[in-house]
Chain A
Amino acid sequence: TQLLEQSPQFLSIQEGENLTVYCNSSSVFSSLQWYRQEPGEGPVLLVTVVTGGEVKKLKRLTFQFGDARKDSSLHITAAQPGDTGLYLCAGAPNAGKSTFGDGTTLTVKP
């Protein structure tokens, strides 16, 4: 059983469209991280959300942590081909051991 469920698994959209991907769990997390991984590279940390209800913005990316700290979402406005990649959420329900979701593979077509 996957502790962090990500959806959708795959998403293919046209440049300029908006999208939202989700990271859900039945467990409470003290924080959640979002990473982006491009082919042939390691995951790169995008953001950490800590407080329930928190919203963080990174240019066209908006991250939200659920009020109960069990879920998170990533919204991308006006997607660009450079946004293509695998988006992973991660959290540590127990101190010191992070778990990763299976990720959402995003393809943005020019």
Chain B
Amino acid sequence: DAGVIQSPRHEVTEMGQEVTLRCKPISGHNSLFWYRQTMMRGLELLIYFNNNVPIDDSGMPEDRFSAKMPNASFSTLKIQPSEPRDSAVYFCASSLLLAGGIEQFFGPGTRLTVL
């Protein structure tokens, strides 16, 4: 079975450019999470969706960041305009939300470098 698929795996762009990260969750999972990981701040939850609806976007750094989930099998995280401080590894994870706990399955991540 395919796990969570993310693309691209690596992205190098210049400050001011638009960046779009893509995620395909595991089929049948009803929750999707976007995280950012840096050495300084660890793994930060940016936003999560349940049944394609954004539930909590309080972790989104600022208006330059936006996320969409048009259907159960696809989500995007967009940064416009990008800045050097956005450089990080961005992970997408999916889960089947069960009472009492959440077990998340992570994709391989997208390593973003903004010059």
- Please list the residues of chain A having a beta carbon within 8 angstroms of any beta carbon in chain B: 30-31, 33, 35, 40-45, 48, 50, 88, 90, 92, 96-103
Assembly CA distance A96 to B104 (angstroms): 11
CB–CB B102/A45 < 8 A: no
Selected from A30, A48, A103, the residue in CB contact (under 8 A) with B103 is: A48
- Please list the residues of chain B having a beta carbon within 8 angstroms of any beta carbon in chain A: 4, 31, 33, 42-43, 45, 48, 50, 55-56, 91, 93, 97, 100-109
CB–CB B102/A42 < 8 A: no
Q: Which residues of B contact A92 (CB under 8 A)?
A: 101-102
CB–CB A48/B43 < 8 A: no
CB–CB A42/B56 < 8 A: no
CB–CB B105/A45 < 8 A: yes
Assembly CA distance A30 to B107 (angstroms): 25
B-side interface mostly: strand
CB–CB A96/B109 < 8 A: no
Q: Which residues of A contact B97 (CB under 8 A)?
A: 96
The residue on B at minimum CB distance from A47 is B103
CB–CB B48/A41 < 8 A: no
Assembly CA distance A100 to B91 (angstroms): 13
CB–CB B101/A42 < 8 A: no
Assembly CA distance A100 to B42 (angstroms): 9
Assembly CA distance A30 to B100 (angstroms): 5
CB–CB B101/A97 < 8 A: no
Selected from B42, B56, B106, B108, the residue in CB contact (under 8 A) with A96 is: B56
Contacts A41-B108, A42-B107, A103-B42 given: A96-B101 contact, CB under 8 Å?
no
The residue on A at minimum CB distance from B91 is A42
